[in-house]
Amino acid sequence: MGIDWLIASNNRGKSDDLRRCLAYYGVSASQYLTRYPRLNFPAETTTSYVDNAVGKARFAARALQQPAIADDSGLELPARPDLFGVTTARDLGVAVSGSDRNREIITTLNSLPLAQRRAVMRATLAAAWPDGRVVVAQATVTGYLLPVQIGQYSGGFDRLFWLPCLGRTLAELPDQWRIPLSHRGQAAQQLKQQL
């Protein structure tokens, strides 16, 4: 019998997307809040996706005495390296919803032509056990940030993230096509191979 992993996040949208990505590769997981009271995770660093993901996963695994998976992800813009990256959620406001975050990005990048809107979405997943063992997987997807939100199959940055090879945003793709292309989906596949 496989492990039923807990997703170590207070963000329901991110947790649902991670659950679907893991399920696509045969890993059973649910947001920890469906079974336990809310945790106050330690503050994240501003320098390392790996440290942030490992810290959340280990904290949840020890606190709940259950295996846990955590995600730290970010949006990187080579034309504007001063923006976002590992601090994406904090830069845009943790309490702000995906749509509002997208509007903030659209406003911030308003003066940049599409050619300079190349972006990378990076995901780092960490799986931890209560005894302290941990495995880490990382993946990226490269595309362009549109000045409008398009798509209904997924939320967040997927609605802005245009893949030139397909001529669509990630949010225009149903899960069976989106997950293998997305940063979180590719990281989930790598994590599954390590588990």
Give catalytic residues, as residue numbers.
72
Task: Identify the helix (H) or strand (E) that includes residue 168.
Answer: strand 168-169
Burial of 43 (0-12, 13-18, 19+ CB in 10 A): exposed
Q: Phi, psi (5° rounding) for residue 34?
A: -75, -15
Which structure tokens are listed for 74?
């970010």
Is residue 24 within 8 Å of residue 175, measured between CB atoms? yes
Q: Which residues pair with 142 in a beta bridge?
A: 120
Is residue 14 within 8 Å of residue 154, measured between CB atoms? no
DSSP 3-state of 125: strand
Give the C-alpha separation, 53 to 30, whole Å: 17
